[in-house]
Amino acid sequence: MIRDAAGRLRLGPSVGLMTCAAVIAAITSITIGAYPLAVADIASVFLGRDAADPVASMVLIEVRLPRFLLGFLVGAVLAVSGAILQGLFRNPLADPGLIGVSAGASLAAIAVIVLGSTWLGGWLAFAGEWALPVAAFVGGSGTVLLAWRIANRAGQTSVATLLLAGIAINAVAGAATGLLTFYATDEELRSLTFWTMGSLGHATWRDLLVGAPFMILALVATPWLIRPLDAFLMGESVVGHLGYRTDTVKKVAIVVVGLGVGAAVAVSGLIGFVGLVVPHLVRQLLGASHRVVLPLSALLGGTLLVAADSVARVVVSPAELPIGLMMALIGGPFFLALLLRTKVI
C-alpha cells in the first residue's frame, strides 16, 4: 500500500517514485532539445567514442550537461530555501521573494546592465564577465544582511519585523529597478526583460563554477536545520527547550537562503514558484517533518525545474520560452488546484 493510516503517502515508495522522476527528467533534459541528436551519437559521446555528428559532443557536453546541472541545482536550492523560510516564519506563503532576497539580487544585476556603461564602468572593467553574477550574489546577500540588521534588536531577532522589513525592501528594490528601467535605453530594456523572466538558455560551465559552490554550500548546511525547524513548528519557545539557540538557528537559516538564492538568481535570473509550490507539494503528500520536507523539496525542486526547462526549450523551437514564464504557467494553476483540493494551506 502506498498510503498509510493517516492517508499520507508512504515515505519509501514516494522517495522511489520521486527518484525515478528525477532520473527521467535528467535523461529527457539531456536527450531532447531543438538540435536533433541520434541516440547512437549520445551514447558515443558518453562512452568517449567519436560520434557521427561532429557537434554532438559539443551540444551534449558544453550545452545540455551544464544546463541540466545548473537547472537541477537552482531548482533544488530555490525549493529548499522556500521550505526553510516557511518553517522559520511558520508562514505557508514564505518564499525567497518574501524577504527581498530575489529582489535585491535582481536589482544589483539590473544595475550592472543599465549603469555598466556609466557609473559602474569601473566595476565592469574590473570584474569583466563575472560582473553580473557576482553583483547579483552580493545584492542578494546584502539584502539578507540588511533585513537581518533591521530585524535584530538587542540580540533578539523578530520574525515579524523581518517579514515587514522584507516587504519594505521589496518595495524599495522594486522602485529602484523601475527607476533603472526608466533610464535604460530601449536596448538595455529588452535584455532586462528577458533577464527578469529567468533563463537557463545560456548556462555554461563558467556559470556553474560561479554559482555551484554557493548553492552546494547552502544545500550542505541544510541538514543541520532539520531538527530546529521541526521545533519551530511547535513554537519558538520549544526551540530553546530542545537545546538550540533560536538566534543561531535563524542566522544559519538566513545565511543559507541568502547564499543559495543570491547564487541562483545570479546564474539564472528570476525564477518564481519553485520555492512556493514544491515544499507545499511535499508537505501535502508526506507530512510536515523537515526530515522529509527538506531533502525531498531539493529532489522535487530540481526535477521540476529541469522538466520545465526541457519543455521551455522545445515547445516553441527553434526559439525558447523564458523558464521563469514556464514555471509560472505550470506552477500557478498547479498551486490553485492544490488549494482547491485541500481548501486549507
Partner 1 sequence: MIRFFAVLTTIAGLLGAPLSGASEEPRVVTADGAITETVYRLGAGSLLVGVDTTSSYPLATDDLPKVGYLRALPFEGVLALKPDMLITSEKAAPQENLERLSRAGVKVEKLPSAMTPEAAMQRIERVGQLLGRSEEADGLTRDLRADIKKTQALASKRGFRPKVLFILAAGNHSVMLAGKGTAAEALLDSVGADNAVSGIMGYKPANREAILASRPDAIVVAESTPGQFNAEDWPGVMRLAAWQSGHRLVADGMLLLGFGPRLPQAMAELNQVLPVSSSVAANDS
**Least spacing, CB of residue 161 vs partner 1, in Å:** 37
Q: Which residues pair with 292 in a beta bridge?
A: none
- Near partner 1 by CB under 8 A: residue from 1, 6, 12, 36: 36
Count CB-CB contacts under 10 A for residue 283. Answer: 21
How many Å apart are CA 167 and CA 142, to the nearest integer? 15
Asked if residue 140 binds partner 1 (CB under 8 A), the reply is: no
Question: Of 160 and 186, which has the nearer Cβ to partner 1?
Answer: 186
Out of 319, 341, 343, 344, name the contact with partner 1 by CB under 8 A. Answer: 319
How far is residue 269's CA from residue 104's CA, in Å, rounded to a whole number? 12
Residue closer to partner 1 (CB basis): 55 or 345: 55
> How many Å separate Cα 38 from the centre of its chain?
32
Query: In the 8-state DSSP scheme, what is residue 242?
Result: T
- Taking only Cα atoms into account, the Rg of the chain, rounded to an integer number of angstroms, comes to 21
Interacting stretch for partner 1, rule CB under 8 A, among 53-61, 120-128, 166-174, 239-247? 53-61
Tell me the closest approach of the beta carbon of residue 203 to partner 1, in angstroms: 8
Contact between 318 and partner 1 per CB under 8 A: yes
Q: Which stretch binds partner 1 (CB under 8 A): 56-64, 76-84, 242-250, 283-291?
A: 56-64
Residues 6+ apart with CB under 8 A from 336: none
- Segment contacting partner 1 by CB under 8 A, of 38-46, 215-223, 260-268, 319-327: 319-327
Give the per-residue contact string, 94-133, with partner 1 (x = CB under 8 A; - = no).
-----------------------------------x----
Q: What is the C-alpha separation between 166 and 257, in angstroms, rounded?
A: 13
CA angle 82, 87, 91 (to 5 degrees): 85
**Cβ neighbourhood burial of 121 (10 Å; 0-12, 13-18, 19+):** exposed
Q: Contact at 8 Å (CB) between 151 and 161?
A: yes
Q: Are strands 156-157 and 152-153 parallel, antiparallel or unpaired?
A: antiparallel
Residue nearer to partner 1 on the CB measure, 113 or 292: 113
Residue 63 or 338: the one with the smaller Cβ distance to partner 1 is 63
Residue closer to partner 1 by CB (options 59, 300) is 59
Residues of this chain, 151-210, that bind partner 1 according to CB under 8 A:
182-187, 190-191, 194, 199, 201-202, 204, 206
User: Where is 14: in which H helix or E strand?
Assistant: helix 11-31
Binding residues vs partner 1 (CB under 8 A): 33-36, 54-55, 58-59, 62-63, 129, 182-187, 190-191, 194, 199, 201-202, 204, 206, 313, 316-320, 322
